[in-house]
Structure 1
Amino acid sequence: MIYRLIILVFLSILLIIGFSHHGAKNERSSPIVLQTKDSASPKVVLLVIDSLMDKPLKKAIQEDKAPALEFFLKHGLYSKELVSSYPTMSVTIDSTLITGTNPDKHKIPGLVWFKEDEQRIISYGNGFFETLKYGVPEFAQNSLFQFNNVDLDSNVKTIHEELDNNGVQTASINALIYRGNYKHTLKIPKFLAKTTPLPDQYQTKGPKILSFGDLIRLDPKNNHVINRLGLNDAFAAQELKYLLKNDVLPEFTILYMPENDHAVHRKGPMTTKGIEKLDKHLQEVLNAYPKWENALDTIIWIIIGDGNQSAVKKNKKEALIDLREALSDYNVLKLGEPVRNKDEVVITANERMAYVYKINNDFSIKDIANKLQTDSRIAWIAWKKNDMVQVISGRHKGTFQFKPGGSYKDVYDQTWDIKGNRAILDLKIDGNHHISYRNYPDGLARLYGALHSQKGDFLIVDAKPGYEFIGESSPEHAGGGAHGSMHKDDSLTPMIVTGTDKSIDHLRIVDLKRWILDVLEGDIKQIN
């Protein structure tokens, strides 16, 4: 038993791959338009750098510590205001990225959430201690099979599925969400399969070319598998080099590099350590060409962050909002345990936002909201009532209500029916019913998407900058960086594009799929 426990702990360390995942000074009255130089390039590489942020990126470049990223920036156009998905956690963001939909359509609500029909908490890997409580086999099942093959809604098409249906080959390297039309086998390393309850393999569906660490790789000589079973930057870069050197790079490739996120969580948003490290791997990719400029000849490079991180205050007592304390009057479901008749509330903290579920009929969701409203560290609280979203705040009086449709139009040409105190979500509305977003970019659509991402009676709490939610065994980032919130400090991320003249009018992650399809296929019709 002791030996098995040691193995399980070791496996947890290897498998917890950081799925947490993951502001403009001047107010804008219209979306940003990004347009770059003309190119006849037939191929696209989408490089997703976890928690890439404008200020540390610029700092690393100014200090000559990121020559590869500087090269791409100099040969393309740059924006620091790509709007992320919500919650700003990697699993939800990446689901939005490859489906072109918000969580109300793709149905991945966050890193941790409560699945009503199964009466259990779903976790895709929220820290070491939380994972131990759920159990490694359940975590592995969720993240290696259920994530892509069950939870990601089958009614939406991924970019891999859509391109393949139109005869365009794609690849995915270390991306968390990769569902495609082809069957693949993820093989658990033998020493783990023999010493743990894990099966030898998992069946999954992905693009024709799929690489996911040591579980399935392209380059048989890729030995960067010790660190997180190959789910690291060095492994990803070598897999891309393998495709390039063997001249088998498909028309579209998505490459995910996670390690910058880990550095930012530890050291805070201004650290450049993660950027410097990943840039060395990008230099290795560029060095595969006779000259770096040759990398631009046949490939459109799209480099994005998946979201921002904001600083968490150093004082733990002040910085960490323990939702168990705030809801101590209720019986809270314990992690890893089945729901009991006496359980009343479920807490799933996603760093700077959290879902709180009511699983007992003896009180209302508004009762929970009223208790949380007294905490000055919470920016706002939202839930569904009939067909309207309800939002309250301890800072502002009254309630703000909204739903799609109506006479108000925002900068993304979305229409809304709104009532109440608009200051709660920091909206600016002019005399023509035109909505501008300030602290919460695309706030109405993103909040609506999160609240309609799942079944059940629940609310969302969103923290003010500087604070983070915790529940039982949640990871803590006091003195470091965290994300999850809808605030612009967590939501705006950089984007570099080279080699295409296709403009993107709405600079949001939810719009990138449609734009990439247009880049690759011109007038291809969306497949629903």
Structure 2
Amino acid sequence: MKRKIIYGLTIVIVLSASLILAVSISPTKDLPDPSAHPQQKPVILIVVDSLMNKPLQKAADEGKIPAFSFLINYGRIYPEMISSYPTMSVTIDSTLLTGTYPEQHKIPGLIWFKEDEGRIISYGSGIGEIWNTGVRNVAKDSVIHLNETHLSKEVQTIHENLASSQISSASINGIIYRGSAAHQLNVPKLIGLTNLLPKEIKVNGPTILSLGALSQYNPENDFHKFIWNRLGVNNKFTANELSYLIKQNKLPAFILSYLPDADAAIHKHGPNDLKGIEKADQALQDILNSFSSWEEALQKATWIVMGDSGQSSIKKDKKTSLIDLNKSLNNYSFWEGNNKKAQLAIAINERMAYIYVNDKNIERADITKPLKKDERIGFIAWKEGNKNYVTSPGSNEELTFSPNGPYVDEFGQSWEISGDFSILDLKVSGEGRLQYNDYPDALARLRGALHAQSGRVIIVDAKPAYEFIEKHSHDHAGGAAHGSLHKVDSLVPMIVAGTDEFPEVQRLVDLKKAILQLLDRGQE
């Protein structure tokens, strides 16, 4: 999915008439001298936005992706890694970096309602949503507050874990990057003059923090950080920065890098588009070519290359494909920039949405009843205390679940469950073994989203081929979108090469622990 933080900042720049010069003169930073773990070679984790297994295999079969094919042939592929939920960039990245679901890391989605401040938080999406939320709010939330205040201080990122053991790390175009080293971002001068962002922004990150035009090391990247290429949040910038670390012999113990470009093509053309994968492969080739040979790259580093979420095709006919929540709930008033005391607030995360019931006089059933009439909705969920409730248009019952009970899933999590198991496509064997089907790791992931926020929150999740909208939304009709709990959005491939010792993992939430084990450090 798009690195929408910087996409949002790009729109901010355009709206504030900040021109190319403001970006191009931002200075490069001197590389620190990080030392890799003395007993283990560096781990390079590369996240390819919206990488999916079926098109990856098709591109490999057609001989279009030599770098991916090399890593697969000399390593191991996990074709169905389970992502976080909602399957949106900031939530996925928060789970990846902290090893927790949203009820712990507290980043509920790309867009959510912050009850204590009475406002919508957006980290950057369509221009209508940015304008409605407030341009200055989007800029500050995405660049400053996401890592500094919104991401829970009760959890540690992998960068913080490693720093506590005096082990260095790096982040290149990562959305979530919080660490223990102090950094100052290079805010373009004209942005500072508009007061959209402070002229000086100090953040805490890993030893090496590269973030497009805001933080750059490789001087050759001056030509890859203009407005038209998303201020440096693009494949070429990322590949150049990582190659620079390799050539300067400055690789730390752990490096997280993002290749974001495939997302836009898939959103526009659908999940079968191969151009984004081919473009990502070219970036991988550039990175591997920084070594004397690709074989040396496997000798010198451990490589993990993976997707973050899948995408579902969205029907072209907007009347059919788009679920308009303003229309579905047209008896109520909705939060907008000029209506902050509305009965409901809606936060659209493409194929899922949060509905916040701010009016105490509205019963939960008043909201769920009209939604249950729409067969395009896969399920509707809410919480009461520790108990979670799920219903769907196709069921006259509810499914209830909570932790610690007689049913045990494949991840060793136990659950108390009653009601209609078919709502989340749950199967149970005679020994109480719980099996997930259309909704991988459904109970833990759904519970994570429901308990990420206080207050009365209802989740709606769309079936494949459909997407939610509200008055200010951007849509993907005729293309593809993500966000849902369904397996089509949730399963991604992961390739591991350069090691035979990688722990067995099936979920993105377990990846942090596996990497720390690979670096011979237990999770702290």
TM-score, normalised via structure 1 length:
0.91
Letter in 2 for 1:526: Q
For 1:218, the equivalent position in structure 2 comes to 217
> Among 321, 324, 328, which residue is 1:322 paired with?
324
Equivalent residues in 2 for 1:49-64, closer than 5 Å: 49-64=48-63
Cα distance change on mapping 1:499 and 1:5 into 2, 3 Å: closer
**Hey, what does 1:33 align to over in structure 2?**
none
Distance 2:387 2:93 in 1: 27
Task: State the aligned residue count.
Answer: 495
Q: How does 1:43-442 map to 2 (within 5 A)?
A: 43-194=42-193, 197-223=196-222, 224-226=224-226, 227-334=229-336, 336-337=337-338, 339-340=340-341, 343-442=342-441
Q: How far does residue 135 in structure 1 lie from its aligned partner after superposition?
A: 2.6
Preserved contact between residue 314 and residue 464 of structure 2 (Cα < 8 Å): yes
Alpha-carbon distance in structure 2 between the residues aligned to 1:152 and 1:503: 28
Using the TM superposition, give the Cα deviation of residue 197 of structure 1 relative to its aligned residue in structure 2, in angstroms: 3.7
Does the aligned pair in 1 maintain the 2:461–2:484 contact within 8 Å?
yes
Which has the higher mean CA deviation after the structures are superposed, 250-259 or 180-189?
A: 180-189
Deviations 1:41-66 (Å, cap 9, x if unpaired)? 52100000110011111122222221
**Distance in 2 (alpha carbons) for counterparts of 1:204 and 1:228:** 21
User: Does the aligned pair in 2 maintain the 1:14–1:229 contact within 8 Å?
Assistant: no
Return closer, same or farther for 1:503/1:515 CA change in 2, 3 Å cut-off: same
The one-letter amino acid paired with 2:114 is: K
Query: Offset of 1:195 from its aligned partner?
Result: 5.0
CA distance in 2, matches of 1:152, 1:76: 34
Residues 140 and 196 of structure 2 are in contact (CA less than 8 Å); yes or no, is this contact kept in structure 1? no
Instruction: Tell me how large the CA RMSD over aligned residues is.
Output: 1.9
Offset, 1:473: 1.6
Q: Which deviations, in whole Å up to 9, do the C-alpha atoms of 1:465-488 show, x marking residues without a partner?
A: 000000122110011010000000
Cα 1:359–1:512 shift into 2, 3 Å: same
Q: Which residue number corresponds to residue 508 of structure 2?
A: 509
- d(CA) in 1 for partners of 2:399, 2:20: 43
Tell me, in whole angstroms, the C-alpha distance in 1 between the residues paired with 2:162 and 2:344: 42
Q: Distance in 1 between the 2:364 and 2:261 partners? A: 38
Structure 1 distance, partners of 2:45, 2:129, is: 32
* Counterpart check, 1:8 vs 2:19: no
Q: Secondary structure at the match of 2:116?
A: helix
Q: Shift of the alpha carbon at 1:10?
A: 5.7
Q: 1:128 Cα shift?
A: 2.1
Contact 1:439 1:488 in 2 (8 A): yes
Is 1:478 matched with 2:477? yes
Whole-Å separation in 2 of the counterparts to 1:467 and 1:55 = 21
In 2 relative to 1, CA 386–192 (structure 1 residues): closer, same or farther, beyond 3 Å? Answer: closer
Residues 250-293 of structure 1 deviation map (CA, whole Å, 9 limit, x = unaligned): 01000011111111101100001111112112111122222211
Q: How does 1:455-470 map to 2 (within 5 A)?
A: 455-470=454-469
**1:26 is matched with which residue?**
none
**TM superposition shift of 1:124:** 0.5
Q: Alpha-carbon deviation of 1:165?
A: 0.5
What CA deviation, in whole Å up to 9, does each residue of 1:348-368 have, x standing for no partner? 110000000000011112220
What's the CA shift for 1:526?
2.5
Q: Aligned to 2:58, what secondary structure does the other structure show?
A: helix
Paired residues of 2:83 and 2:507 also in contact (CA < 8 A): yes
In 2, the alpha carbon distance for the partners of 1:338 and 1:228 equals 32
Task: Report what 1:526 is aligned to.
Answer: 523
CA–CA separation in structure 1 for the residues paired with 2:425 and 2:482:
19
Q: Give the residue type in structure 1 aligned to 2:510.
A: D
| Ranges of 4+ aligned residues in structure 1 off by more than 4 Å | 4-7, 9-15
Q: Per the alignment, in what secondary structure is the counterpart of residue 254 of structure 1? A: strand
Return the offset for 1:14: 13
- In 2, the alpha carbon distance for the partners of 1:209 and 1:105 equals 26
Code of the aligned partner of 2:319: K
CA contact (8 A) 1:106 1:156 kept: yes
Confirm whether residue 445 of structure 1 aligns to residue 444 of structure 2.
yes
CA distance in 2, matches of 1:252, 1:503: 14
Query: In the alignment, is the contact (CA less than 8 A) between 2:186 and 2:214 conserved in 1?
Result: yes
Give the letter aligned to residue 288 of structure 2: L
CA distance in 2, matches of 1:117, 1:165: 32
What SS is found at the alignment partner of 2:47? Answer: strand
Asked whether the 8 Å contact 1:14–1:228 carries over to 2, the reply is: no
- Taking structure 1 as reference, are residues 317 and 71 closer, same or farther at Cα in structure 2, changes over 3 Å only? same
Aligned with 1:221: secondary structure? helix
Structure 1 residue 203: Cα displacement:
1.7
Unaligned runs of 5+ in 2: 1-10, 23-38
1:273 maps to amino acid: K
Counterparts of 2:20 and 2:471, CA distance in 1: 19
| Superimposed CA distance per residue, residues 427-467 of structure 1 (whole angstroms, 9 cap, x where no aligned partner) | 00011111000000000000000000011101100000000
Structure 2 CA distance for partners of 1:222 and 1:6, relative to 1, 3 Å: closer
User: What secondary structure sits across from 1:47 in the alignment?
Assistant: strand
- SS of 2:221's equivalent in the other structure is coil
- Residue by residue over 1:187-208, the C-alpha shift from the partner in whole angstroms, topping out at 9 and shown as x without a partner, is 2212433356433232211001
Conserved? CA contact 1:12–1:131, under 8 Å:
no
Report the more deviating stretch, 463-472 or 194-203: 194-203
Asked whether the equivalents of residues 350 and 481 of structure 2 are also in contact (C-alpha less than 8 Å), the reply is yes
Q: CA, structure 1 residues 503+249, in 2 after alignment: closer, same or farther (shift >3 Å)?
A: closer
Q: Is the 8 A contact 1:87 1:450 kept in 2?
A: yes
> Aligned partner of 2:241: which letter?
E
Q: Name the aligned partner's letter for residue 434 of structure 1.
A: R
Alpha-carbon distance in structure 1 between the residues aligned to 2:86 and 2:100: 13
Matches within 5 A, 1:28-47: 42-47=41-46
1:9 is displaced (CA, Å) by: 6.1
What is the alpha-carbon distance in structure 2 between the residues aligned to residue 256 and residue 63 of structure 1? Answer: 25
Equivalent position SS for 2:514: helix
Gap change, CA 1:230 and 1:14, over 3 Å in 2: farther
Whether contact under 8 Å (2:16, 2:191) holds in the other structure is no
The equivalent of 2:30 in structure 1 is none
Structure 1 runs not aligned, ≥5 long: 16-39
Moved more, 375-384 or 470-479: 470-479
CA distance in 1, matches of 2:254, 2:85: 25
Residue matched to 2:35: none
**Structure 2 vs 1, CA of residues 435 and 350 (structure 1 numbering), >3 Å: closer, same or farther?**
same
In 2, Cα distance between equivalents of 1:353 and 1:291: 44
**Letter aligned with residue 337 of structure 1:** N
Cα 1:86–1:269 shift into 2, 3 Å? same
Shift of 1:12: 12
Cα distance, 1:486–1:85 mapped onto 2, change above 3 Å: same
